[in-house]
């Protein structure tokens, strides 16, 4: 067959090749479709790839041939393939790298799917009964196995069969050789929620604010066209009830829904609410699942066994085939942004695009909307729905700012707890109510310093101060995992032992100090150290919600969307930490953090109270957050962003260079910057190459520059062109972060 008459497919490789590749399609592979997973030869070995287009010819004269189709049905439906192509251009990332993030690991690599072994009759049961009678005396173990099989209907797990009869696999193998029994290897899904109990609940009556928001969203659903709604509701205003009732309407219309949460710590409460209301099968997707669990859930979704998918940002890429609604809860949260690897996508923004591809409705919910989303709502790009009152009898908590400079003067040192906070904690304990203490630093001490020579014990790989963890008795780096155990007792610089001093406080010290003051109070600490084990989030939050602890101490993971009706006191022990970071989002992050943490108080019938401990009581951001004044904060912050040309005024791209040799990283950074300047017009601003906020991590020196402009595509197109036409030292890692959350880290 002449090459010009043969079918040709364009493949995106899952093996790290950035360019799209053409392959000849043999005539016997007639079932191939766009989105199909195929096996192709690449660099003299088999490689997996996804079919992007099917065409009649290729400019390449001598094409290699597709070897095989790996899945009977394409693993990627057309909408996800279209979304991946958009992500590839917008985030300037090779399409193959995008697709790797959309497919389960079992499909991306040649990994065997674990199958269960089942045993079943190989002959009719009347013949098995005759065989059993003949074997009863000569081979009693084989007869017992047949007796067990005859008692069953259909197949039985091999391990279960052997366990029930109490025999080894030898007698079973003999029966298989005699062709009386047979075995089958069957892939079995184990739904994560199977067997879990839940109590059915009924929809709640919506208050006027909720009803208006709900009707606005339903109007968009009825139009069957793409729309984005920003559900801006104060903490405790009933956003979840609107989500539930809207999803119910979507299911009634024969559509499906995706519900995103920023952290897996929120999935337990979310799933309980959804199962009790929906009575529908739900799939869960997040990074703490094993690869097998992810694959099982993914397959259930692909087969149409579920109508609702709940999970963290990667759940956005689930293969639902009839999406009608996408909800991004806590849309402002930084966890929706993937910055640690390529592509540097933001799940909120990609959710909006998937909604557009599917002509679905997208709801972005938050008590503290991102400046980007709120700006889009103000200019009419999104529908704005406000919820300004807490539901039922719940009221907003009273907020008090405590000047810690005065508290420090009282103790002639650095106070961890103010006098007022200790009084309030004791009062709540007497009443049987609960308290949350928030400090966004884990560990016991944040540094170890020699007072004589000022030597700071730091990580040799990251040049950051090591954190002391009392429980593990180590000095640890939170960036790379390096640790010293046991902690040194002598300064390596001046060899003294008397002048080593620990500084700074973390959640571990908060817990220990509270026990020293109130031995009878039961505490629970939730941070990166206590939640390493799978399922620990669920266990801890369940224990706290059932009253097994009086005080919850934690980092940022306790601030998001959790509902504890008995919590009437929340204290932020040091709200200044985020403000001290020289980053354009510092004020926004601080405002959101204070508001979200404060929102955990007084969510039930009991009134709530919030104490904010700070060294900067007059800071405008802290004042706005304490007063719950979002609009004044927004106006002040947007003026600053306009002055310095930061998002949402302009698009931002951060291009980073890291290498073991700092000179080489700088050299490549300057060359790359020069190439990009030549490709972009004067409408774009490119800053100078500078060291990153953390200039060294994991033995790599890091430098970056920023690109600012009104449009993102000229920037991403320039990045793609440089990648395809220029080559730089492979010793330098180049990272492109489109719409970065931070210019510092």
- Strand, helix or coil for residue 32: coil
> Confidence class of residue 592 from pLDDT cuts 50, 70 and 90?
very high
The Cα 685–Cα 673 span in angstroms is 11
**Residues 285-327: tens digit of each pLDDT:** 877 677 778 888 898 899 899 999 999 998 999 999 999 999 9
pLDDT at residue 561, as a whole number: 61
Question: CA-CA distance, 661 to 296, in Å (whole number)?
Answer: 44
CB 221 within 8 A of CB 324: yes
Sorting pLDDT into bands at 50, 70 and 90, what band is 618?
very high
CATH class assigned to 8-108: alpha beta
Residue 601 DSSP label = S
Domain(s) labelled CATH 3.40.50.300 in the chain stretch across 208-387, 398-444+505-640
CB 24 within 8 A of CB 64: yes
User: Could you give the percent of the chain with pLDDT greater than 90?
Assistant: 66
404-454 residue pLDDT tens: 999 999 999 889 999 999 999 999 999 999 999 999 898 999 999 999 999
Write out the residue limits of the CATH 3.40.1440.60 domain(s) in the chain. Answer: 8-108
Specify the higher pLDDT residue, 3 or 356: 356
**Do residues 382 and 213 lie in contact, with contact meaning Cβ atoms separated by under 8 Å?**
no
Name which residue leads in pLDDT, 79 or 187.
79
**Global pTM value:** 0.85
Q: Which helix (H) or strand (E) holds 147?
A: helix 140-151
Quote the DSSP letter at residue 113.
P
| Residue with the larger pLDDT of the pair 393 and 202 | 202
For CA atoms 471, 473, 479, 481, the dihedral sign is: negative
Residue 114 in contact with residue 300, Cβ under 8 Å? no
> What mean pLDDT, rounded, does the chain reach?
90
Cα(733)–Cα(503) distance, rounded to whole angstroms?
A: 35
pLDDT score, position 183: 87
Q: How confident is the model at residue 659 (pLDDT cuts 50, 70, 90)?
A: very high
Q: Is the pLDDT of residue 627 over 90?
A: yes
User: Is 3's pLDDT higher than 50?
Assistant: no
Q: What gap in Å lies between CA 62 and CA 641, rounded to an integer?
A: 54
Distance, in Å, from the CA atom of 389 to the CA atom of 536, rounded to the nearest integer, reads 33
Tell me the Cα Rg of the chain. 30
When pLDDT is cut at 50, 70 and 90, the band that residue 282 belongs to is confident
Distance CA 381, CA 131 (A): 75
DSSP 661: S
pLDDT at 2: 41
Superfamily of domain 651-738: Ribosomal protein S10 (3.30.70.600)
Kindly state the average pLDDT of the residues 457-481: 92
pLDDT(648) > 90 = yes
pLDDT digits (tens, 9 = 90+) for 516-558: 999 999 999 988 878 776 667 778 888 888 889 999 999 887 8
Q: Is the pLDDT score of 494 beyond 60?
A: yes
The residues, ordered by sequence, that sit 6+ positions from 131 with a Cβ below 8 Å of its Cβ are 123, 146, 178, 180
CATH class for the region spanning 398-444+505-640: alpha beta
What pairing do the DSSP bridges indicate for beta strands 361-366 and 323-329? Answer: parallel
> Mind spelling out the 3-state secondary structure of 180-235?
CEEEEEECCCCCCCCCCCCCCCCCCCCCHHHHHHHHHHHHHHHHCCCEEEEEEECC
Whether residue 566 contacts residue 547, with contact meaning beta carbons closer than 8 Å, is answered with yes
Which of 104-108, 284-288, 453-457, 578-582 has the highest mean predicted lDDT (pLDDT)? Answer: 453-457
Rounded to 10°, the helix 630-644/620-627 angle is: 150
Band the pLDDT of 110: cuts 50, 70, 90: low
The listed CATH number (3.40.50.970, 3.40.50.300, 3.40.50.720, 3.30.420.10) that belongs to domain 208-387: 3.40.50.300
pLDDT at 4: 42
């Amino acid at each position: 067959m002449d090459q010009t008459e043969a079918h040709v497919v364009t493949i995106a490789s899952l093996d790290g090749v950035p360019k799209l590749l053409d392959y000849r399609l043999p005539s016997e592979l007639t079932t191939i479709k766009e989105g199909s997973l195929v096996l192709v030869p690449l660099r003299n070995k088999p490689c997996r790839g996804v079919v992007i287009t099917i065409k009649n010819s290729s400019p390449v004269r001598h094409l290699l041939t597709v070897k095989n189709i790996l899945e009977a049905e394409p693993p990627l439906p057309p909408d996800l393939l279209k979304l991946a192509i958009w992500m590839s251009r917008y985030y300037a990332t090779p399409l193959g790298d995008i697709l790797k993030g959309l497919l389960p690991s079992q499909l991306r690599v040649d990994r065997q799917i674990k199958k269960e072994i089942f045993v079943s009759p190989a002959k009719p049961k009347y013949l098995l009964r005759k065989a059993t009678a003949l074997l009863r005396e000569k081979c009693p173990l084989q007869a017992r196995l047949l007796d067990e099989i005859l008692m069953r209907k259909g197949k039985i797990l091999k391990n279960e069969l052997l366990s029930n009869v109490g025999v080894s696999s030898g007698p079973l193998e003999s029966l298989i050789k005699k062709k009386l029994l047979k075995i089958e290897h069957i892939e079995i899904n184990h739904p994560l929620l199977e067997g879990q109990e839940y109590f059915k609940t009924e929809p709640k009556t919506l208050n006027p604010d909720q009803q208006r928001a709900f009707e606005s969203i339903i109007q968009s659903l009825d139009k069957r066209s793409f729309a984005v709604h920003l559900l801006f509701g104060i903490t405790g205003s009933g956003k979840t009830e609107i989500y539930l009732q809207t999803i119910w309407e979507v299911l009634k219309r024969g559509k499906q829904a995706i519900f995103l949460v920023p952290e897996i710590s929120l999935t337990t409460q979310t799933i309980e609410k959804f199962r009790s209301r929906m009575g529908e099968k739900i799939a869960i997707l997040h990074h703490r699942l094993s690869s097998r669990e992810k694959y099982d859930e993914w397959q259930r979704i692909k087969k149409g066994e579920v109508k609702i998918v709940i999970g963290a940002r990667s759940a956005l890429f689930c293969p639902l085939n009839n999406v009608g609604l996408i909800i991004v809860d806590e849309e402002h949260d930084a966890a929706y942004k993937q910055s640690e690897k390529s592509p540097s996508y933001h799940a909120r923004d990609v959710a909006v695009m998937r909604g557009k591809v599917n002509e679905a409705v997208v709801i972005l919910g938050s008590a503290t909307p991102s400046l980007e989303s709120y700006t889009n709502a103000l200019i009419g790009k999104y529908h704005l729905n406000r919820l300004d009152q807490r539901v039922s009898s719940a009221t907003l908590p009273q907020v008090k700012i405590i000047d810690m400079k005065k508290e420090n003067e009282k103790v002639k040192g650095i106070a961890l707890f103010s006098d007022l906070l200790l009084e309030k904690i004791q009062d709540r304990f007497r009443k049987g109510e609960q308290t949350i203490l928030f400090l966004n630093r884990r560990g016991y001490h944040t540094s170890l310093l020699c007072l004589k020579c000022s030597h700071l014990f730091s990580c040799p790989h990251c040049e950051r101060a090591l954190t002391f963890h009392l429980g593990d008795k180590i000095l640890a780096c939170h960036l790379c995992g390096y640790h010293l155990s046991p902690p040194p007792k002598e300064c390596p610089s001046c060899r003294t032992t008397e002048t080593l001093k620990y500084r700074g406080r973390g959640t571990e010290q908060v817990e220990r100090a509270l026990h020293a003051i109130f031995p009878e109070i039961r505490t629970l600490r939730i941070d990166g150290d206590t939640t390493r084990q799978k399922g620990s989030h669920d266990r801890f939050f369940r224990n706290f919600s059932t009253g097994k602890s009086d005080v919850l101490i934690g980092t940022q993971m306790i601030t998001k969307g959790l509902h504890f009706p008995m919590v009437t006191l929340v204290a932020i022990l040091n709200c200044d930490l985020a403000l001290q970071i020289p980053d354009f989002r510092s004020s926004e992050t601080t405002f959101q953090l204070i508001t979200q943490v404060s929102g955990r108080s007084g969510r039930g019938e009991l009134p709530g109270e919030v104490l904010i401990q700070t060294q900067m009581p007059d800071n405008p951001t802290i004042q706005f957050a304490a007063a719950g004044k979002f609009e004044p904060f927004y106006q002040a912050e947007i003026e600053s962003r306009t002055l310095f040309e930061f998002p949402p005024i302009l698009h931002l791209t951060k291009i980073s260079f890291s290498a073991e040799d700092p000179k080489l990283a700088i050299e490549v950074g300057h060359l790359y910057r020069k190439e990009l300047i030549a490709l972009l017009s004067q409408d774009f601003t490119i800053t100078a190459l500078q060291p990153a906020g953390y200039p060294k991590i994991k033995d790599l020196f890091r430098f970056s520059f920023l690109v600012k402009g009104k449009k993102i595509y000229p920037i991403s197109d320039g990045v793609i062109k440089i990648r395809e036409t220029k080559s730089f030292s492979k010793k330098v890692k180049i990272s492109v972060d489109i719409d970065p959350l931070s210019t510092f880290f």
